[in-house]
Amino acid sequence: MISVIIPVLNEYPTVASVVAFAKRSEGVSEVIVVDDGSIDGTPQEAINAGARVVTSTLLGKGASMEDGIWAATNDIIVFLDGDLTGLADDLIHKLTLPLINETADFVKAKFTRSAGRVTVLTARPLIATFFPELTHIEQPLGGIIATRRSVLRGIRFENDYGVDVGLLLDVAAKGVRIEQVDIGHVEHDSQTLDVLGDMAKQVARVILDRASKRNRLNLEHVREVEEIERRSQAEILTMFQRMGQPQRLALFDMDGTLLRGRFIVIMAEHCNKSSELNEYMDNLNIDSAERTQKIAALFSGIPKSVFEDVALSIPLMSGAIDTIRELRKLGYQVGIVSDSFRVATEIIRRRIFADFSIAHLMQFRRGISTGNVMLSPAMVYPNGCKQHPYCKMNVLLNVCNQLNINPDQVLSVGDGEPDICMMKSSGVSVAFQPKTESVAAAAQHVIHSSLSEILGCIPLYQPTPNVEMP
């Protein structure tokens, strides 16, 4: 039997038809829709169409695909995109036949479509250069795939537009038998030029990364490309060029607000640096910028993966995911603002399905921390905060300026002294489990048990049902 997995993000117009198509296909015993934080009713639409719906554990298509594999009960897996139209009735049968006949272990769909510029201009030229043995694969970026669960064991799923080509290159490296099957013509939603630009960069990064791992490229070049891309993504102008015009903005502190704990403290415990960290933590005799630099230096030589693993391990505060999702449904762009490091805030952003994060940028070389940090330029604003040169209030002003909204349209949530200026500058401010009386006094609302209490301050709020977690 066959399990069909459909990773989705805001695919309300098409998801029901894709689910219905999969359910009527020969040999399919289950259809699993993995939702990546949709706010348009996609999960309920999928449920109504007869799918089993689970919520992704982490923002990103790769995580959704991996969650789907864990949720599936069959060995044969078919991945479909949630925005597909014009699918032939025998698509799944044709796609899985090489697996059933044991002539292949990984099957990519070959199809024609009206778009595909990143495939033609980026993916194919790079594959031809570094992986000429795979140039016959016509849709290396296509998300229509059939394989066995066993084939994907031990493979790292990328979490951006590079996930599909990454899987192709990784299974090829394992010596897996790859076949492509012609399924005719399909249609995907078209993407904007900004999105296509992001897609091209991410696809190129993944191909170059895999080329380096197979000794087909100088590794140093790849890591420099990754670091340049990471710094570019941290720039506030670049960040908000990708966003539409929001109705409202919500800014959340991370430590003690979204997380049950403080990232840098738990990171120090993990690296046996607690005693050194205690010299600098909350030491008001040291300038905040100098303190951040000294704390960063403690983690020189630590792999980036350790920062990410620690950020993944810290429990979220009660109500975090549901609150962010409901705010986004109400028209909010949701961001994390932290005086910690962006390598951590980006992990937390993906865990709670937020739109962006702003924090200081820890610098890495070859995947290892240099101990140097670039203080976030978003925390500086002309004629901004009069008390602090680097301040979360300045982030608020910068973001409002970029998004052309008024501070009165901002909801801010924090728990500590560094959040006070931001909360005082917001239209609506909430102190969550405030650490001091001054923090509580700075906010319009004080809540203690769950972040979901924030929603009680929003007019006409209507709760929506949760879907199953994997």
Return residue ranges of the chain for CATH 3.90.550.10.
2-208
| Predicted pLDDT of residue 177 | 93
What is the percentage of the chain residues whose pLDDT exceeds 90? 61
pLDDT in tens, 149-159: 989 888 889 98
DSSP string spanning 387-416? S-SS-HHHHHHHHHHHHT--GGGEEEEE-S
CATH dotted code for 2-208? 3.90.550.10
How many CA atoms are closer than 13 Å to the CA of 82, on its beta-carbon side?
Answer: 28
Weakest-pLDDT range from 166-175, 285-294, 317-326: 285-294
| Predicted pLDDT of residue 225 | 53
- pTM of the full predicted structure? 0.76
- Return the residue matching tokens 């350790």: 306
Q: Are 131 and 211 in contact (CB under 8 A)?
A: yes
Weakest-pLDDT range from 79-83, 168-172, 219-223, 308-312: 219-223
CATH class for the region spanning 231-457: alpha beta
pLDDT grade for 261, boundaries at 50, 70 and 90? very high
* Mean pLDDT to the nearest integer, 164-174: 94
| Predicted pLDDT of residue 234 | 56
d(CA 12, CA 5): 16
Q: Are 336 and 316 in contact (CB under 8 A)?
A: no
pLDDT grade for 34, boundaries at 50, 70 and 90? very high
Return residue ranges of the chain for CATH 3.40.50.1000.
231-457
Q: Are strands 356-365 and 445-447 parallel, antiparallel or unpaired?
A: unpaired
| Predicted pLDDT of residue 402 | 84
- Return the residue matching tokens 């999960």: 43
* Mean pLDDT to the nearest integer, 307-333: 95
Mean pLDDT of the chain: 88
d(CA 396, CA 419): 11
Q: Are strands 248-252 and 76-79 parallel, antiparallel or unpaired?
A: unpaired
pLDDT grade for 128, boundaries at 50, 70 and 90? confident
| Predicted pLDDT of residue 179 | 94
Check residues 73 and 458 and name the one with the higher pLDDT: 73
